[in-house]
């Protein structure tokens, strides 16, 4: 079976997590760069990566790359790529997105226009057509320029992979599903450990944790653009991929996942979202302020996305400071717990009254945030049966 270079973009700061995920589903890493992991795989890899990867944004099938510092370079380089190997003669194709970093060519609209013209010219010559009906299936193309090196790829995914399909009800500034999954995977949390989110909002952290615990692949209930590309990917592979994902689900797993929020509407949304995700039986949601946070057991985890300046109205600095103070007080009362939180709030550690063991820069959308890590002691090793 033919193999391809596949590119999986991700949130800046989650490259190591995505790399591990790709290894775990059985594929060889070719390159890791900022916000992107490239790996080798066949048509089945495209299917399994779309269905199984929790932290990727999408799966791109690389068509080729070349150097360009002028629009003539861009035109000729694009026209030299083997588009006919990927696009049938009735394909509906367009450059859906162009991004440029440290390159002479930087206008997305101009890059898109020039590349589309070059693709049409190539297809005219290969298919002996003067005009293309573009009445067939969609083939969106993404291109990125880095230091004048152009990479063109087909978008096999469509809607971003963070859209699992369960979050129909949102709250203010929700965290993306794939970012939430990646942050959980940066911690030592495992499904047999307690996990509490005291600012749970629409429940994303807990729903992602529950799906991990139950072995539910994030893309098993949604569809992808490349499902229509029968000449590249046998439709049976999609059916097989979903069957494999279903076989891995353990609906009877036991968990201790709890979500609290002061807003009753947020709790109602979280419950509805958990129900849509099929994990509502694994999570307990309750309307509760952070000051009332408590748990009788040891060695649990707080993983949360508390409010920060960008998410509140101007003049609410005192309210933000008070929330962080209450969180710090509540955390200190928990016995041997760990805490992990993502925020852009500059006075986070000061108001918590705690010094993080480490923090990690993560981009939450366009906001530069930090993932503060306060690891607690490890629980004692369990005695093995004699």
Q: Are 249 and 216 in contact (CB under 8 A)?
A: yes
Each residue's pLDDT, cut to its tens digit, for the chain (386 residues) gives: 799 999 999 999 999 999 999 999 999 999 999 999 999 999 999 999 999 999 999 999 999 999 999 999 999 999 999 999 999 999 999 999 999 999 999 999 999 999 999 999 999 989 888 888 889 999 999 999 999 999 999 999 999 999 999 988 666 768 999 999 999 999 999 999 999 999 999 999 999 999 999 999 999 999 999 999 999 999 999 999 999 999 999 989 999 999 999 999 999 999 999 999 999 999 999 999 999 999 999 999 999 999 886 555 556 788 899 999 999 999 999 999 999 999 999 999 999 999 999 999 998 877 889 999 999 999 998 766 66
User: Which residues fall within 8 angstroms of residue 346, CB to CB, at 6 or more apart?
Assistant: none
Q: Where in the chain is the domain with CATH 3.30.2130.30?
A: 4-155
Answer yes or no: are the C-beta atoms of 324 and 242 closer than 8 Å.
Answer: no
Q: What pLDDT shows up at residue 123?
A: 92
256 SS3 class: coil
Prediction pTM value: 0.94
Q: Distance between CA atoms of 206 and 362, rounded to whole angstroms?
A: 20
| Chain region(s) in the chain for CATH 3.40.50.150 | 177-216+250-374
Per the CB < 8 A criterion, the answer to whether 139 and 87 are in contact is yes
For 177-216+250-374, CATH number out of 3.30.420.10, 3.40.50.150, 3.30.930.10, 2.40.100.10 equals 3.40.50.150
Long-range contact list for 270-275, CB < 8 A, 24+ apart? 270/200, 270/201, 270/202, 270/203, 270/206, 270/207, 271/203, 272/168, 272/169, 273/166, 273/167, 273/168, 273/169, 273/202, 273/203, 273/204, 273/207, 274/166, 274/203, 274/206, 274/207, 274/210
Provide the CA 356 distance to its chain's centre, in angstroms: 25
pLDDT confidence of residue 314:
55
**Structure tokens belonging to residue 194:** 């307690």
CA distances (Å), origin 331, targets 198, 268, 294, 334: 10, 25, 8, 5
CATH 3.30.2130.30 correct for 4-155: yes
Two tokens, residue 187: 């911690």
- Residue pair 97/142 in contact by the 8 Å Cβ criterion: yes
């Amino acid at each position: 079976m033919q193999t391809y270079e596949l590119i999986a973009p991700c949130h800046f700061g989650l490259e190591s997590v995505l790399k591990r995920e790709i290894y775990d589903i059985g594929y060889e890493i070719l390159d890791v760069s900022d916000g992107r992991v490239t790996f080798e795989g066949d048509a089945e890899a495209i299917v399994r990566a779309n269905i199984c990867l929790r932290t990727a944004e999408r799966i791109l099938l690389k068509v080729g790359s070349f150097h360009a510092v002028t629009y003539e370079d861009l035109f000729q380089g694009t026209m030299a790529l083997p588009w006919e190997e990927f696009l049938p003669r009735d394909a509906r194709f367009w450059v859906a997105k162009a991004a440029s970093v440290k390159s002479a060519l930087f206008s997305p609209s101009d890059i898109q226009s020039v590349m589309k013209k070059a693709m049409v010219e190539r297809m005219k010559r290969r298919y002996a057509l003067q005009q293309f009906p573009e009445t067939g299936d969609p083939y969106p193309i993404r291109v990125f320029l880095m230091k004048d090196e152009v990479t063109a790829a087909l978008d096999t995914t469509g809607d971003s992979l963070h859209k699992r399909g369960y979050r129909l009800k949102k709250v203010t500034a929700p965290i993306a599903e794939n970012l939430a999954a990646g942050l959980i995977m940066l911690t030592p949390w495992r499904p047999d450990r307690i996990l509490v989110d005291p600012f749970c909002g629409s429940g994303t952290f807990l729903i992602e944790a529950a799906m991990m615990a139950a072995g539910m692949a994030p893309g098993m209930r949604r569809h992808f653009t490349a499902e229509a590309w029968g000449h590249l990917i046998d439709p049976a592979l999609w059916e097989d991929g979903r069957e494999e994902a279903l076989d891995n689900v353990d609906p009877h797993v036991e968990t201790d996942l709890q979500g609290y929020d002061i807003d009753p509407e947020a709790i109602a949304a979280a419950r509805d979202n958990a129900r849509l995700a099929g994990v509502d039986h694994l999570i307990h949601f309750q309307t509760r302020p952070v000051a009332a946070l408590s748990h009788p057991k040891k060695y649990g985890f707080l993983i949360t996305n508390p409010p920060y300046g960008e998410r509140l109205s101007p003049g609410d600095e005192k309210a933000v400071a008070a929330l962080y103070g209450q969180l710090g007080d509540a955390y200190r009362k928990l016995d041997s717990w760990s805490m992990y939180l993502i925020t852009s709030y500059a006075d986070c550690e000061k108001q918590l009254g705690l010094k993080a063991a480490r923090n990690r820069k993560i981009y939450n959308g366009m906001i530069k945030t930090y993932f503060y890590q306060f690891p607690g002691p490890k629980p004692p090793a369990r005695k093995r049966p004699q």
